[in-house]
Structure 1
Amino acid sequence: MNSFFIVLGIFLFGVILALFIQEYFLKKSRRQNIQKRFGTIPPERNYDYEGIASYWEEIKNQIPIEQQVDDITWNDLEMDKVYERINQCCSSVGEEYLYATLHQLHWSEEELSGLEEKIQYFGARGEERIKMMEYLLALGKKPRNFLIPFLNHTDIFEIPHILIYGILQFLLFGSLIGALVQQNALWITILIVIAGINLVVFECQHAKYERSVVTLSYITRLLFTAKKIVKSKETSFEETFHELQEPSSSFRSFSKSVQSLELHTQTRLSGVGLELIFEYIRGITLVDFTKYHKVMKALKGKKDSFFKIYHSIGQIDCAISILSFRYSSPFYCTPEFKSNMDSIKAEEIYHPLIQNAITNTISFDSCIILSGSNASGKSTFIKAIALNAILAQSIHTCLATQFVMPRSSIVTSMAVRDDIISGDSYFIRELNYLNRILSILNEERNTLCFIDEILRGTNTVERIAASIAVIKYLVQKNCISIVATHDVELTEELKDTCDNYHFREVLNEGDVKFDYKLYHGPTTTRNAILLLERMGYPEEIIRTANRYVNSITN
């Protein structure tokens, strides 16, 4: 007998020791993965943008239009790709918060300084950052959470006619008591009928709330993460920022109720053994409906507290992701905002999506006409300035050695396309894009506008005339603009109104090369026909094109 207990004790000790060793190596592996991924370029993956954008879609109506990055500008600048380049968030909440942050131009010093304070905090505390990332990874990513829409529209997700379910419960327990007291066939039959009705009602209605239980379960994980941060002895975050203690304390009983509902749902889905019997009992008693109703009512009353927790956890994850983005970039700076200036100064600026990018330096006010050959770098440069102006006002980070600007609205007109569905031609859509820029101009605030190939959808004479009129109008307003064009006529007509800069090509052994460097003054070269030649077009086309150009210029 004694030997049996000794063997059993050794076995149990071995199991416990194996579990501790497994947990140790799992924790070590997680830490190594965290350290490996931090400060690197995120790997490519598929993004569920409908879910990620849900937070932004809920809050954007509360943000002034002039402080938003509108959809056209977002698409012109390929901001989804920029988001993917920055995103190293560990949780769904962080991803949603970062996406919404990149859509907003923060003009308040307090907003950006609060974010920067957290970035600097984790930058100076490597061990605490790793621990925080462990918490956030445990929270994890749950696609299509729709947390904020769920919370803002709880009425939609509540169980209707809860009073009827209460009556059915009352009838069930009444008939049960009657059957126990009377012990006759009539009352037993009544009990069976009511139980059957309740089970049918449950089977027909439970799917409506089980989908919500998935969202509620992620809410409890978020609350649990907040609780861990508050009580953590390995981090001093809450002691420094005091953001989570008060709101998380109001959810103590809420989490237990949701965990009970989640357990019931998982048991039901497993559909095995005694567990399934207990689930039928829950179905007959409709207890999950009443419990779900209480949970939804409790959540509705704690909406403000939950928003505080969501915002705080989202900003933590976002701040660490931005810090990682900074470390993964060749170099960066924080922007300088000058309220009394109407110019931009950018030193060694580059585009975040281009590896080994060529940097450029520029300082300008009012308007720039940017000319140059095809594929010489005009569009990339414009996008680099526009993107950095957005990143400056959204995540307080610029890819440059210095970036100085006034707080401004930002709007673009670049990637214009025909719209087959609406029937709008290229030119009509371009006019709409430009008109939206004109409508956002305001003398009380700065606007930065970026136009690539202005009015290229119409004939040369009218294009030049209309372009001159539009650019002169922009110059008269509180607007800083960069306009790219192939029309050298614009550089001459507007030389007294706008600064001229250009990109150029270099002929090297008969081939066209680009240095992607910005030069002062208008372009003096053309390369379209030369590119046709280098791409192997028939000689007859090349001769005809050159002959036509010579007849015009001579």
Structure 2
Amino acid sequence: MQQTIVLVLSMLVVIIAATLWQSIRHKKKVYHYVRQRYGQAPQKSYTDKLESIREYWQACAKVLPDYQAVDQITWNDLELDLVFDHLNTTYSSLGSEVLYARLHRLDGPPPEQLIDVLKHDQALRDDVAYFLHGIAKWDYNHVSDYLFDPAAQKTAGFYTWQGFVPVLGLILLPFHSPLGIITITTGFAWNAWTQSRLRLRIEHGISAIAYLSRAIHFGQKLAKRLKSSEPSYAQALQSALEPLKSIPSKLPIQVDNANPLAFLVQYLNYAILLDFTMYNRALQILIKQPQALHRLWETLGDLEIALAIASLEERQTITRPIFQTDHAITAQNITHPLIKEAVPNPVDFTRSTLVSGSNASGKSTYVKAIAISAITAQCLGRVFADQFSMKPGRIITSMAIRDDIHEGDSYFVAEIKSLRRMIEATLSGQTIYLFIDEILKGTNTIERIAASHAMLSFFHEHRVPLIAATHDIELTELQAPFMNNIHFREEVHQDEITFDYQIKAGPTQTTNAINLLKYYDFPTEVTDQAERLADHFKLNRRWSD
């Protein structure tokens, strides 16, 4: 008996020592990782699947109107999934989820003071990154299911007393060994059967509570660490944690299999239904405080976003926007965030503007660059320019239109629906900015010019700022009294066509479609006839005599 006790104690010492050694080694590794990663572009990862990240935003959008400020058409037009990937240097799934949701909203960035202190205090920054890393990337954590209506989720049933049966057997063992052994064996078998039968029903819930437990645990460490250097944020975080303080900050219900204690946790879950009991307790707390979980996620998300912004400033030219009362946008040296070595350009969006130019000259990229910075200005407090001023307002685009197979809409019908929402927003009286690429290009030339002119005039009459990219020289002429005209230009050489991607004043005076046909070796009978017809139309404003 004594040898058995010594053996058990020795095994426990070995397990504890191995766990401590692994913990120290892991800590050093994580600190090295976060130091190396700061100021670097996001790394490709097998985690952070967009399908998982979207769950938080989708849950919020059903309840909170401000989560829908950037609609799905605008999101797709501007390829904001890619912009999110470019910005996403967060350390936890929680951070990714809140950043993704924040890019849909226009209700302000995290506190500037928080960003500044993380930029200038490396020791604090490393500690913050370490604790956020501890929350971990955990796809499909299902926390979004518990954000606003935890009472709708299933409980595990009432198994506290059932879980206690094997413990009762241990108590009986010294007094009546046979009865104790029978009680332990029966209790374990009963609990294992219950575990296998019911766990699938609440698997998502156990995952959510386990991840919440990590957020609470490391949130408490963050609040303590930030108390001296950023007391206002630390107080906000502590207030967010307070309603959830009764949830254990270290729920041992899901443990990494690499952890030496994993087998012990799994054994306890089967032996005494530990995970069922803790899940029930946590769910009851969330039901009593239905808004607490969302508040904690947003508060910790602010910290993740602040750190991501500080890191972005180390690797890319960005600046803080200036918010004004004039319904306009002006900027210096604006660029598209996803284009390497992008050519910067000025923006004078004090008057609605038509951007004309040849194919591939940079019109659409320029328009998208303005729209993207107008969004990030309001949700992150940063823009991809040297200077940027605007009045806050909704950004609405109609750009990357395509046939909608699911709705049965043709290209032109899809475009009409996209433009219709611009009309509705205009009539609502909201402060909005409109961005259009190739208006009504899904129809014939005569009706396109006529309808486009009428629609642009409508927006002008309602004093809605609009910037549109167009190939239609006729439209630049018709709108000259109401809109600024700017253009991009190409240089045609014998063997190539080059672009400088710099804005020029006035409407375009050149075209390059036929030159591009020549460049790609189309038959001369095609290009020669095209040139003759184009020259005839420019002189006579008709295609034939």
Alignment TM-score, normalising by the size of structure 2: 0.84
In the TM superposition, 1:508-547 aligns within 5 A as 508-547=493-532
In the TM superposition, 1:225-374 aligns within 5 A as 225-232=218-225, 236-238=229-231, 241-255=234-248, 259-262=251-254, 281-282=271-272, 289-329=276-316, 331-339=317-325, 341-374=326-359
Q: Tell me, what secondary structure is at the counterpart of 2:140?
A: coil
Q: Could you tell me how far apart the structure 2 residues matched to 1:82 and 1:120 are?
A: 23
Q: Could you tell me how far apart the structure 2 residues matched to 1:399 and 1:121 are?
A: 22
Residues 336 and 384 in structure 2, CA contact (< 8 A), matched pair in contact too: yes
Q: Could you tell me how far apart the structure 1 residues matched to 2:195 and 2:334 are?
A: 62
Residues 67 and 104 in structure 2, CA contact (< 8 A), matched pair in contact too: no
- For 2:40, the equivalent position in structure 1 comes to 40
Amino acid at match of 2:367: I
| Alpha-carbon shift at residue 233 of structure 1 (Å) | 8.1
**Compared CA separation, residues 261 and 352, structure 1 to 2 (3 A):** closer
Partner of residue 136 from structure 1, selected from 115, 129, 132: 132
Amino acid at match of 1:384: A
Amino acid at match of 2:141: N
In the TM superposition, 1:18-417 aligns within 5 A as 27-45=27-45, 47-64=48-65, 68-106=69-107, 111-112=108-109, 114-159=110-155, 162=157, 200-232=193-225, 236-238=229-231, 241-255=234-248, 259-262=251-254, 281-282=271-272, 289-329=276-316, 331-339=317-325, 341-417=326-402
- Structure 2: tracts of 5 or more residues without a match: 1-12, 169-181, 540-545
| Alpha-carbon shift at residue 38 of structure 1 (Å) | 1.2
Q: Could you tell me how far apart the structure 1 residues matched to 2:436 and 2:266 are?
A: 64
Q: Tell me, what secondary structure is at the counterpart of 1:506?
A: strand
| Alpha-carbon shift at residue 271 of structure 1 (Å) | 7.7
Amino acid at match of 1:487: D
**Compared CA separation, residues 198 and 308, structure 1 to 2 (3 A):** closer
Q: Could you tell me how far apart the structure 1 residues matched to 2:531 and 2:23 are?
A: 74
Range that drifts further, 193-202 or 390-399: 193-202
Residues 40 and 324 in structure 1, CA contact (< 8 A), matched pair in contact too: yes
Q: Could you tell me how far apart the structure 2 residues matched to 1:170 and 1:512 are?
A: 80
| Alpha-carbon shift at residue 28 of structure 1 (Å) | 4.4
| Alpha-carbon shift at residue 54 of structure 1 (Å) | 1.6
**Compared CA separation, residues 534 and 406, structure 1 to 2 (3 A):** same
Q: Could you tell me how far apart the structure 2 residues matched to 1:536 and 1:552 are?
A: 24
| Alpha-carbon shift at residue 66 of structure 1 (Å) | 9.7
**Compared CA separation, residues 443 and 288, structure 1 to 2 (3 A):** closer
Q: Tell me, what secondary structure is at the counterpart of 2:251?
A: helix
| Alpha-carbon shift at residue 289 of structure 1 (Å) | 4.3
Amino acid at match of 2:81: D
Q: Could you tell me how far apart the structure 2 residues matched to 1:433 and 1:122 are?
A: 41
| Alpha-carbon shift at residue 127 of structure 1 (Å) | 1.7
Aligned length: 518
In the TM superposition, 1:463-482 aligns within 5 A as 463-482=448-467
**Compared CA separation, residues 191 and 234, structure 1 to 2 (3 A):** closer
Residues 166 and 271 in structure 2, CA contact (< 8 A), matched pair in contact too: no
In the TM superposition, 1:426-465 aligns within 5 A as 426-442=411-427, 444-465=429-450
Residues 213 and 261 in structure 1, CA contact (< 8 A), matched pair in contact too: yes
Amino acid at match of 2:414: R
Q: Give per-residue Cα distances to partners, 1:274-305, cap 9 Å, x unaligned.
A: x98866653xxx67645532332123224444
Residues 205 and 279 in structure 2, CA contact (< 8 A), matched pair in contact too: no
**Compared CA separation, residues 91 and 527, structure 1 to 2 (3 A):** same
Q: Could you tell me how far apart the structure 2 residues matched to 1:474 and 1:224 are?
A: 53
| Alpha-carbon shift at residue 196 of structure 1 (Å) | 7.6
Q: Give per-residue Cα distances to partners, 1:347-404, cap 9 Å, x unaligned.
A: 1111100111101112132311111000000000000010010011110101111111
Q: Give per-residue Cα distances to partners, 1:70-105, cap 9 Å, x unaligned.
A: 000000000011001111001111111111111111
Q: Could you tell me how far apart the structure 2 residues matched to 1:368 and 1:169 are?
A: 70
Amino acid at match of 1:539: T
- For 2:404, the equivalent position in structure 1 comes to 419
Residues 131 and 234 in structure 1, CA contact (< 8 A), matched pair in contact too: no
Q: Tell me, what secondary structure is at the counterpart of 2:469?
A: strand
Q: Could you tell me how far apart the structure 1 residues matched to 2:375 and 2:114 are?
A: 20
**Compared CA separation, residues 266 and 372, structure 1 to 2 (3 A):** closer
- For 1:5, the equivalent position in structure 2 comes to none
Amino acid at match of 1:425: S
Q: Could you tell me how far apart the structure 2 residues matched to 1:475 and 1:66 are?
A: 29
- For 1:484, the equivalent position in structure 2 comes to 469
Q: Give me the CA root mean square deviation.
A: 3.8
Q: Could you tell me how far apart the structure 1 residues matched to 2:477 and 2:534 are?
A: 19
Range that drifts further, 229-238 or 124-133: 229-238
Q: Give per-residue Cα distances to partners, 1:450-490, cap 9 Å, x unaligned.
A: 00001010000000000000000011114110111111001
Q: Could you tell me how far apart the structure 1 residues matched to 2:475 and 2:355 are?
A: 10
- Structure 1: tracts of 5 or more residues without a match: 1-11, 175-188
Q: Tell me, what secondary structure is at the counterpart of 2:236?
A: coil
Q: Could you tell me how far apart the structure 1 residues matched to 2:256 and 2:507 are?
A: 72
- For 1:182, the equivalent position in structure 2 comes to none
Q: Give per-residue Cα distances to partners, 1:98-120, cap 9 Å, x unaligned.
A: 111111112xxxx44x5322212
**Compared CA separation, residues 289 and 349, structure 1 to 2 (3 A):** closer
Q: Give per-residue Cα distances to partners, 1:300-346, cap 9 Å, x unaligned.
A: 224444333322211101110011112211x222111112x122211
Identity %: 32
| Alpha-carbon shift at residue 538 of structure 1 (Å) | 1.5
| Alpha-carbon shift at residue 539 of structure 1 (Å) | 1.6
Q: Could you tell me how far apart the structure 2 residues matched to 1:280 and 1:480 are?
A: 64
